[in-house]
Amino acid sequence: MAITISPPRGMRDFLPSEKARRERALGVIRRVYGAHGFDEIETPAMEDIERLHSGLGGENEKLGFSVLKRGLSPAELGTAAASGGVGGLCDLGMRFDLTVPLSRFYASHRGDLPPVFRSLQIAPVWRAERPQKGRYRQFVQCDIDIIGESSQLAETELITATAHVLNALGLDECTIRLNDRRILEGLLRYCGFATERFPSALISLDKLDKIGVQGVVAELSENGPDAAAVLGGILASFESNSADGGVGLTVDEITRLLPDGIDPDAVASLESLAHTLPRLPGGVGLRFDPTLVRGMGYYTGAIFEIAHPASGSSIGGGGRYDGMIGRLVGSDVPAAGFSIGFERIIELVDLDVDDRPEAVVLVHDAFADHPDDGLTVAQLLAIKSALVVTGKRVRIERNRKNLTGLLNRAAVDGFSRYARVTSVTASVDDLSFKTFT
């Protein structure tokens, strides 16, 4: 039986050139967010299973990878499974996002953190997704969060900093879609949905771009056909009114689109947020989207997503989630966050690589045991070290008949010049570099 040598489904290997490209993009993200005052933290890949399945993670909890308890005998495994399902067999789980770990991190370290904490997390997460194009079981998230700020300063900082990141990555023509969870709840209430049905109704509404108005109505009709029909008519009206490119963010424009009685404070807060934001770089635009939901159930106020014309899915999103951290610390703590979908933006990014160090290849013949007999390992490494000290990136390659093929492969990894190193090469000054790209 052949041994599988591919990575697990939904997970990927990255060749050196791909890894370098990803790291350059991550370097830009870190630099810009750092300039905006966000401090990078790190949390473990795993968290306690009870915390991951406590309701903080919403629908993502269903996609979590659980970790089997260590050291259980077959008999103990059977007893644990019979006594409590996942909770009996597993005590840890792989993180499925960075927000739940951040909440635990803040609860653990809040005494060492400033009153308003601006966090940056860049790390892989794991979800038991059905692998397909653009959707993986292991992927990188880039999250910024502001904890302890209840005013709209938090949202404006998050949006402004992220717009600067998009601009630095060369992603122009982005649009940030805005909505508010209070508007969505008011809409469902107007249609006649019972409060306890709000979570499931929002999950169905979040599928609008995939299954369309009729698909949403069909899902919701099982338990509330009349309310679903009313919502369907409103959604159809939304589509016709936003066909010309979207809806502005003034109170008049928003209320003209919504039914009567929707929370006026929520509407006014969206207009205030739009007016508070400074002019965003790179042509980043803002628009109201009454169908924007965001899948997580912990959002409590403004929510936002980034759309780009070259991507069929959002490339980032976030919102205010007051109350989530309070469940861990026992008192209310305001919080808001913005997450960039790194796997989606990396496909759109074409970074300038001129700031990389010069990369050169040293091509050598077979080694001798003694300097009198030819080139030695010690001589070659001394020359390499001298080049590295000057800031160059250096690769050593043994000479071969197909030198062109060797150099072509090096070029893929960013190398552009090479030099032959022989027994008579006494120092770096004796090298003669040739360009091959």
**Nearest CA-CA partner of 343 in 10, 54, 88:** 10
CB neighbour list of residue 188: distance below 8 Å, 6 or more residues apart: 197, 198, 201, 202, 227, 231
pLDDT exceeds 80 at position 56: no
Q: Angle between the 264-276 and 153-168 helix axes, to the nearest 10 degrees?
A: 50
Give the position of tokens 């966090």: 119
- Tokens linked to 406: 């060797």
Measured CA distances, 246 to 123, 136, 152, 289, 290 (Å): 33, 30, 23, 7, 10
pLDDT value for 337: 96
pLDDT exceeds 70 at position 34: yes
39/316 Cα distance (integer angstroms): 20
pLDDT exceeds 70 at position 242: no
Give the position of tokens 């006494």: 426
pLDDT band at 244 (very low <50, low <70, confident <90, very high): low
- Tokens linked to 340: 């960039």
pLDDT tens-digit series, residues 315-363? 999 999 998 888 888 888 999 999 999 999 999 998 765 567 889 999 9
Q: How far is CA 255 from the centre of its chain?
A: 33
pLDDT exceeds 80 at position 282: no
**Residue 91 carries which side chain, given as an amino acid letter?**
D
Give the position of tokens 């635990």: 104
251/107 Cα distance (integer angstroms): 37
Bridge partners for 179 per DSSP? 303
CB neighbour list of residue 406: distance below 8 Å, 6 or more residues apart: 361, 363, 397, 400
pLDDT value for 239: 75
* Other Cβ atoms within 10 Å of 6 Cβ, number: 8
**Residue 207 carries which side chain, given as an amino acid letter?**
K
CB neighbour list of residue 107: distance below 8 Å, 6 or more residues apart: 325, 328, 329
Query: Which of 142-146, 228-232, 256-260, 407-411 holds the top average pLDDT?
Result: 142-146
pLDDT exceeds 80 at position 55: no
Mean pLDDT of the chain: 87
pTM listed for this prediction: 0.86
Q: Name the more confident of 386 and 220.
A: 386
Largest CA distance in the chain: 94
Q: What percent of the chain has pLDDT over 70?
A: 93
pLDDT value for 126: 95
Phi, psi of 216 (to 5 degrees): -65, -45
CB neighbour list of residue 326: distance below 8 Å, 6 or more residues apart: 332, 333
CATH class of 21-38+95-171+308-351: alpha beta
> What's the chain's Rg over C-alpha atoms?
27
Pairing of strands 138-147, 335-341: antiparallel
233/202 Cα distance (integer angstroms): 16
Q: Where do the domains of the chain lie? A: 21-38+95-171+308-351, 46-94, 175-292, 359-435
